[in-house]
Amino acid sequence: MGGWSNLNLLLTSDRRRMVLKLPARTTARSKEGYGVLMQRHLDLSRTGLSPRPLETGWIDAPVEVPYILLQFVEGTVYPAPSAIPISALSALRRAIDSLNTAKCDSATALSRPSDLLDLHIDAVSSAADRSGVSSDTIALLHELLPLADAVRSHCEHLPWSGGLIHGDLSESNIVFREGNAVLLDLESLSTGHRLYDVAHLTVQNAVEVIDCPPTLVQEGETEVVSRFVPLALVAVISWSIERLADMDSGLIETALVNETTYRSIRRYVSDKIALLRMTLSGNPSIAQ
């Protein structure tokens, strides 16, 4: 098991399987460690929306490393949204709806869509300012910024709410078991509109055409999802450029870094920027 923000290790003890989550980055650790993530899992696991947290703390090492231990969820993870069967999509819709009405005081409070955009742009801009970041990575950021400005003006017309959203929903963050969907990786949990999560899920693997599975939405909501697509694309592009900057600066654990992965992320970013540009040019109300 693996990741970019975190390293996820599968552990087996006394016939019980658990996930040990460690930071993937080698930077200084926050004093709170995984305390916020622990609280999020405590709140949401009570209703079965997320894995149950077991403990959190610090591993003694030359530099202390925070960790969180989570219940391992047995189930099915599909390789792409298009591979998810209708019955599982129905379970995912119920999970998204339940999450949006759940309570979690530790979720990041975002009062408007532009707050989410600013969160991502500020993070990637800060990462690109570090020493060691390549000119190619900075060039990708410079491609993104004017497109993000166009999306920012569009954000004023998007619906928003005080309900909870996952914020980073992808097929790899969803486990289907016993007719239910369990949501993993709650680091991006925030307030927002539930259809943003649907848009985020649909743009992960999209190259040209972005299709929203009708089972995930109610009648008339497909158009709203399409309006969230540019914002979701800015999020996935920003996150990916930030990972490139981390790799350039030597901040990712060496076991997770190789040239093939680096080139793959760079191609992914270029494809997503092209898709965002195409999406904006195809929607005059956004491009203005």
State pLDDT tens for residues 40-98: 999 999 999 999 999 999 998 777 899 999 999 999 999 988 899 999 999 999 999 99
Q: What is the C-alpha to C-alpha distance for residues 159 and 286, in angstroms, rounded to an integer?
A: 15
Burial 118-133 (b: 16+ CB within 10 A, else e): ebbbeebbebbeeeeb
**pLDDT single digits (tens) 102-159:** 999 999 999 999 999 999 999 999 999 999 999 999 999 999 999 999 999 999 899 9
Domain positions in the chain: 74-287
HSE at residue 199, side-chain half, CA atoms within 13 A, is 25
Residue 222 CB contacts under 8 Å (≥ 6 apart), including other chains:
212, 214
Average pLDDT over residues 170-189: 96
pTM (two decimals): 0.93
Strands (E), the chain: 6-13, 16-23, 53-59, 65-71, 164-165, 174-177, 180-183, 190-191
Q: How confident is the model at residue 288 (pLDDT cuts 50, 70, 90)?
A: very low
Mean pLDDT of the chain, nearest integer: 91
Top CATH class, 74-287: alpha beta
Could you give the C-alpha distances from 258 to 191, 247, 255, in angstroms and in order?
Answer: 35, 9, 8
**pLDDT single digits (tens) 24-46:** 877 656 668 899 999 999 999 99
The DSSP bridge partners found for residue 25 are: 252
Helix (H, G, I), strand (E, B) or coil at 79: coil
Owner of token pair 């998007």? 158
pLDDT at 287 over 70: no
pLDDT at 284 over 80: no
